[in-house]
Amino acid sequence: MGMDNNCETKPYVKSPKSCSCKTSEGPGPFRTQATFKNSEGRSVIWNSRYYRKHHSNLDKNLGSIWWAPSAVSWWIGILFAIGAICFALGASQIYIKILNNAVSYEIFFIGSIFFTTAAFLQYLESINAPIHLCRHIIEKLRLLTWEPRRIDWWSTLIQFGGTLFFNISTLAALQSFLLVSNINYLVWSPDVYGSICFLTASYLAWTEVGNGFWSLKPSNISWRIVALNLIGSIAFGVSAIASYVSPSTGLPISLTLTSLGTFTGAICFFLGAVFLLPERMMKNIN
């Protein structure tokens, strides 16, 4: 964790003259939390995730925990949850036996579309967070930015890229009569790349919440969300490695680990997505 007494927060947040920054902290070169003093002499804590989730220019109405179609943060949770359900169903051995593998692959592809949509909205939420503290400034919608000094910019962009790899992988899996070499190239490779992206993005999100490279805050709902996503990403990674098809046998390394890893990861992502709904209604960062 890095503490900066000079309080460098750009380009995360800009404060008007009525607010003065005292300290800031975050993992490595990133700044994820800072303390300001307003014109009344009171301390104001800025937290990158909390500020993004509660002051988004895309949220028109907070609504309620379970119903808020005017809030982009609500849609992110709902779409991630639906996508996770699809992956859990597709990976379920019982479900596969009831139907067949072809149907499971179709469910995976549908789930990947929900993941991609949610990840893109999450990226939009990040780049459209207001950058002014102590006053809420509505800015025009931004669809693409270059902000490499923001850890949330990196995490949301990388996760979005990971979902695109899953789109490619699950779409290719729908093709029948693929050669083993084609399966590993068209299905396995993008699955591995997608898993690496998810693991990287999840770790960045975890360090953002913890304001450092390591943290343990189980009572913090935001920490529980990113921890679940990190565990889910690890499980997806195990699944991806185990799904490599041996050229000699034409079978994956471990079908059990492939299905179990995907199912476990999907459950973790589902729980994390559900927790996103009450997180957006929190009144403080703790």
pLDDT in tens, 224-234: 999 999 999 99
Residue 93: partners with Cβ closer than 8 Å, 6 or more residues away = 259
d(CA 209, CA 223): 6
The helix/strand/coil state of 221 is helix
Q: Which pLDDT score, from 0 to 100, does residue 1 have? A: 37
Q: What is the pLDDT of residues 95-147, one digit of tens each?
A: 667 767 778 899 999 999 999 999 999 999 999 987 666 555 556 788 899 99
List Cβ neighbours of 150 (8 Å cut-off, separation of 6 or more): 11, 12, 30, 48, 126
Report how far apart, in Å, the C-alpha atoms of 75 and of each of 58, 180, 201 are: 11, 38, 20
Q: What is the pLDDT of residues 10-29, one digit of tens each?
A: 556 666 556 777 888 999 99
Q: What is the pLDDT of residue 44?
A: 81
Looking at residue 285, its pLDDT comes to: 60
Confidence of residue 5 (pLDDT cuts 50, 70, 90): very low
Q: Which of 101-105, 146-150, 265-269 has the lowest mean pLDDT?
A: 101-105
Q: Are 227 and 215 in contact (CB under 8 A)?
A: no
Question: Per-residue pLDDT for 236 more than 60?
Answer: yes
First to last CA, the chain: 18
